[in-house]
Amino acid sequence: MRRLEYGTVTSTNRKRVVVAMSGGVDSSVAAARLVEQGYEVTGLFMRVGVEAPVEDDASSADGPAGRYKADGSRVRHGCWGASDAADARFVAGKLNIPFYAVEFKDEFDRIIEYFADEYSRGRTPNPCVVCNDRLKFGKLVEYADAIGADHIATGHYARIGMRNRQPVLMKAVDASKDQSYVLFGIERTVLERVLFPLGEMTKDEIREEALARGLPVHDKPDSVEICFVPDRDYARVVRRRRPESFAPGDVVDAAGNVLGRHDGLPHYTIGQRRGLGIATGKPIYVIRIDVATNTITVGDKRALLRRALLAERVKLLIDPPAKPFAAQAKIRYLHPAADATVTLLDDGRMHVVFDEPQTAITPGQACVVYDGDVVIGGGWIAEALGEP
């Protein structure tokens, strides 16, 4: 496919913008930058009813609530908890901007339901993509409309560019922090209203700027886990909502030989090696999860390789070529984009064939396709295809 040139969008027009403020350093600097650029900024914190375990709820006298324990040591927060709301409110006060905390508990609960449903169906969900789609670029847009705001903004690492006078979603300059993969679900019609003030920056630069601006969240640790599973016990969340999906079953090899037993499909994901409880004398991995037979199939690392995939519920952010086209495809957030040929099907699916076999293509994860730095679109992996 012919490589195109894209430019990034900047603006100093005094327009109204709603900034999703999570209480972290990224969204705080994003808000500060927009204020400095002359926007009329309103901060919005999304209350989702999730609290991370905190050992101590002490507050420091000269900083946001809940950032330190009584002994002065750091406290690690999840995202969107009460202490995060306090941090966001503190920063908004320092920036002298209006700030509101709005209840989105019911909407967020539906995301947790999706999470449990996917695991109960033998798929591995990606709730961050769904949260961005439904909340941060769904409900946030509705709120902006309600108050007459022109734009919405977040602290995501991504950029908005222009091609043929149309906005496009682009990777961030800092490849190690790029979040364009989890943003493919943004509605195309919303792109022209989105601002990503941090897309040209690195994390170190953002922390340095936060410190220079006197923002007390400059050294706040990043939230790295799924916010409603801070202990990483995914099965606990699923069991609470879908207990019937934890029926024991067989663990088999590719020939169907029974090697052991499992205690519920939601404990497993494609490519998993640890926690199988089976000794074979060599490393083995989960290569298939079959809900119909309630079995886990295991094999060696080579058995994880597949040449192609089929994705469903495809969303496009630019007009692609009508015929099969060359692109780069990511099958997981931390997976490097790989060269592939993409064919869009008439039923809202896409067929992706990789130049080189890929490891652990996982149903339930997103497949996002790129033209260089530009997001063409993406869809949800339905199945892996093609032996290596």
Q: What positions carry a catalytic annotation?
A: 131, 227
On whether the CB atoms of residues 191 and 168 are closer than 8 A, the answer is: yes
Dihedral sign from CA coordinates of 372, 376, 377, 381: negative
On whether the CB atoms of residues 93 and 212 are closer than 8 A, the answer is: no
How are strands ordered across the β-sheet holding 258-262? 258-262, 249-252, 295-299, 285-290
Q: Which residues contact 145 (CB under 8 A, 6 or more apart)?
A: none
Render 269-299 in DSSP notation, one character per residue.
-TT--TT-----SS--EEEEEETTTTEEEEE
User: What share of residues in the chain are helix, strand, coil (percent, to 5)?
Assistant: 25, 30, 45
Give the CA-trace dihedral at 82, 85, 90, 95, to 10 degrees. 180
* CA dist., res. 197 & res. 9, Å (int): 10
Q: How far is CA 124 from CA 49, 78, 115, 201, 235, in A?
A: 23, 21, 8, 31, 12
Helix (H/G/I), strand (E/B), else coil: 356: strand
